[in-house]
Structure 1
């Protein structure tokens, strides 16, 4: 975190609310629709949590209409770390950052929590 900041530089990190997600361990996200070039698509994720509760395998599904009105499926896969606010704050502290604080969606209008810190 620290090596890319100039002295006095501002760090902003956004993340999913993993404190709650690690507790609840959801299996999926709600489907969302999007439109590109006049064509709509449907996107959702399936999550398979690892036993350690800190990581999950993510499958991102995108349903796309073709020219015949049929749907085709595109899938992307990855593994994500579900780092809590405490873990990220500890990393920022270990990196020597100062003024570490969290802002929540209700206060910022942004849909995810935001970690804010400064390089000394």
Structure 2
């Protein structure tokens, strides 16, 4: 299946915020959530700034929020359009973030230095469609961490999704009915791959406009990701489910020891 993530995020850069009821509130909530989550697991750096790499920053949903909580944040993404949007949003919010364009698969070359925490939230890692790409990315996450550093990844609950191969998400109706957001998933006949078609439907000046952006994912099982992290050298691999963490996706954490 073709890697379509770059076109997908470049095409969504100007409208990605419309997926959220209120994107700026989401930035605040995610910053507060991950600040509390990280500090509960990374006590070594409690007294000073934590140097964090958001390796799939998009337009800044996590990076901008964490920059408001005494983190030194470097934020990268494969999409240069998304990074440029994130820079503009950082200026609006008055936060300082080091931005760059980088790919999971070449993170070791694209991003200098090492970090206390490497973060990839909101199902970015399943854009890696085969085991080789996933292994390379996991090794690069490992290389970007200092000793005792913490890796944090969130993905969809594919263990649950694969039981019935979900075909769509429920439409979310916002702006008093003037904006509808949903996804349609087209599954490959064989294997655990699918295409997400992201629909943003809006009433603008009395006319309805539809934007559709599509990208490929691998339905990545928790055991598969855990195995690749272990092979890359990570230890203390733990899964934090939504019922425990309060986040909307399963989160895996792992340590570089």
Question: One fold, TM greater than 0.5?
Answer: yes
- Structure 1 runs of 4+ aligned residues shifted over 3 Å read none
1:53-110 per-position Cα deviation (integer Å, ceiling 9, x unaligned): 311011101001111x221100001111110000010011011101001011000100
Q: 1:60 maps to what in 2?
A: 198
**Structure 2 match to 1:76:** 213
CA apart distance, 1:40: 4.2
Q: Report SS of the residue matched to 2:147.
A: coil
Contact 1:28–1:47 (8 Å) recurs in 2:
yes
| Structure whose residues are more often helix by fraction | 2
> What's the TM-score, normalizing by structure 1?
0.90
Q: How far is 1:3 from its partner?
A: 2.1
RMSD over aligned Cα, in angstroms? Answer: 1.6
Alignment of 1:4 onto 2:141: no
Give the TM-score of the pair, scaled to structure 2: 0.43
Structure showing the higher strand proportion among its residues: 1
> Structure 2 vs 1, CA of residues 71 and 29 (structure 1 numbering), >3 Å: closer, same or farther?
same
Write the distance in 2 (CA, Å) between the matches of 1:10 and 1:33.
37
